[in-house]
Amino acid sequence: MTALALDQHRLRQFLSLTKPRVVSLIVFTAVIGMFLAVPGLPPLKPMLFGTLGIALVAAAAAVINCLVEQKIDAKMARTRARPLPRGELTTQQALMFASVIGAAGLVLLYAQVNALTMWLTLATFVGYAVVYTVLLKPATPQNIVIGGASGAMPPILGWAAISDDVAPQALILFLIIFVWTPPHFWALALYRAKEYANAGLPMLPVTHGPAYTRLQIVLYTIVLFAVSLLPFAIRMSGWIYLVTAVILSGIFIGYAVALKRRYSDRLSRQTFRYSIAYLAGLFSALLFDHYWQ
């Protein structure tokens, strides 16, 4: 293998630690928050630097998550191929990488965006990398519910990057993702329950069983349906968003009910995948409606 090929392979290893698909959804919801924060187009400088800074810190949090959970990842089929469990990267390399990109993101936010966004992003990093990963995940089946607060922060970060404040509308965006997180993650946990049990993690299907978890998914999707109507209720959005939210939420509830009545791993995977499409569609509808009015 040539030196160039080795360098490219090493770069791909570092990139995989950042969980690009997860970070892309984080950045997407943050950017939507930026556009919704102003009536017209957001100013270019805070939007660009805010997006980059949030992405870097989110990537650093993902690396720390991989670093802390490398022994757990080695026991699970979906994660054992990551660079740390395979020994392709060392703990020191991962820690240095996370420190560099995380610090760069925070400095960028402070210097080019505003201090509020930097502090909120730092708090989000601590919430995910420390509170959720280190404290909650191995300790309680409600880890994803409590820890979901960190995952729900991106729209607030994006909003703050543009407006330098946190408006009630931003809190509603936060609430939508906060309520969406448990049914999204539990759909995954259902068909990975044996792996979580083998890894010693107290995920809800492991501690309370699949039937209870499926019931919780139904209840949370119903609550999510109600929460998704709040942007229309406070006149943050119009009819386009309302119709989209009703349709998307109805489909999500349909998946949840089907999952409860006739469980299969295949249906659980479909529910998990739909949950991602649901959130992307909901936020896209908010953006479209924002500029249509």
Q: For residues 60 and 15, is the Cβ–Cβ distance under 8 A?
A: no
Q: How far apart are CA 125 and CA 158, in angstroms?
A: 15
**Is there a single domain that holds both residue 224 and residue 268?**
yes
Find the helix packing angle between 91-112 and 115-126, rounded to 10°. Answer: 150
**Is there a single domain that holds both residue 158 and residue 215?**
no
Domain end call among 132, 166, 200: 166
- Cα–Cα separations (whole angstroms), residue 37 to 19, 34, 179: 27, 5, 21
Find the helix packing angle between 265-292 and 168-191, rounded to 10°. Answer: 160
**Is there a single domain that holds both residue 46 and residue 145?**
yes
H helix runs in 127-238, sequence order: 143-151, 154-163, 168-191, 193-199, 204-207, 210-228, 230-233
Q: Which domain holds residue 15?
A: 1-166
**Is there a single domain that holds both residue 282 and residue 174?**
yes
Number of domains, the chain: 2
Domain end call among 166, 198, 225: 166
**Is there a single domain that holds both residue 156 and residue 267?**
no
Residue 255 tokens, joined: 């998946």
Instruction: Please report, for the domain that includes residue 201, its CATH number.
Output: 1.20.120
- Cα–Cα separations (whole angstroms), residue 188 to 33, 55, 192: 27, 24, 6
**Is there a single domain that holds both residue 275 and residue 155?**
no
Residue 141 burial by Cβ neighbours in a 10 Å radius (0-12, 13-18, 19+)? buried
H-run or E-run covering 95: helix 91-112
Residue 53 burial by Cβ neighbours in a 10 Å radius (0-12, 13-18, 19+)? buried
State the Cα angle at 13 between 7 and 19, rounded to 5°: 140
Question: 42: alpha, beta or left, given left = phi > 0 and alpha = psi -120 to 50?
Answer: beta
3-class DSSP assignment, residue 137: coil
> Any idea of the CA torsion for 196, 202, 208, 213, to the nearest 10 degrees?
-60
Which pLDDT score, from 0 to 100, does residue 31 have?
97
**Is there a single domain that holds both residue 84 and residue 200?**
no
Which pLDDT score, from 0 to 100, does residue 201 have?
84
Domain end call among 120, 146, 166: 166
- Phi, psi dihedrals of residue 133, rounded to the nearest 5°: -65, -45
Residue 51 tokens, joined: 């997006």
Instruction: Please report, for the domain that includes residue 87, its CATH number.
Output: 1.10.357.140
**Is there a single domain that holds both residue 121 and residue 253?**
no
**Is there a single domain that holds both residue 124 and residue 188?**
no
pTM, two decimals, is: 0.92
**Is there a single domain that holds both residue 153 and residue 247?**
no
Residue 52 tokens, joined: 């980059």
**Is there a single domain that holds both residue 83 and residue 200?**
no
3-class DSSP assignment, residue 284: helix
3-class DSSP assignment, residue 229: coil
- Quote the DSSP letter at residue 174: H
**Is there a single domain that holds both residue 92 and residue 142?**
yes
By C-alpha distance, which of 127, 220, 133, 119 is closest to 178? Answer: 220
Each residue's pLDDT, cut to its tens digit, for the chain (293 residues) gives: 555 555 677 788 888 889 999 999 999 999 999 999 999 899 999 999 999 999 999 999 999 998 988 887 777 777 777 888 887 888 899 899 999 999 999 999 999 999 999 999 999 999 988 888 888 888 888 888 888 889 999 999 999 999 999 999 999 999 999 999 999 999 999 999 888 888 788 899 999 999 999 999 999 999 999 999 999 999 999 999 999 999 999 999 999 999 999 999 999 999 999 999 999 999 999 999 998 86
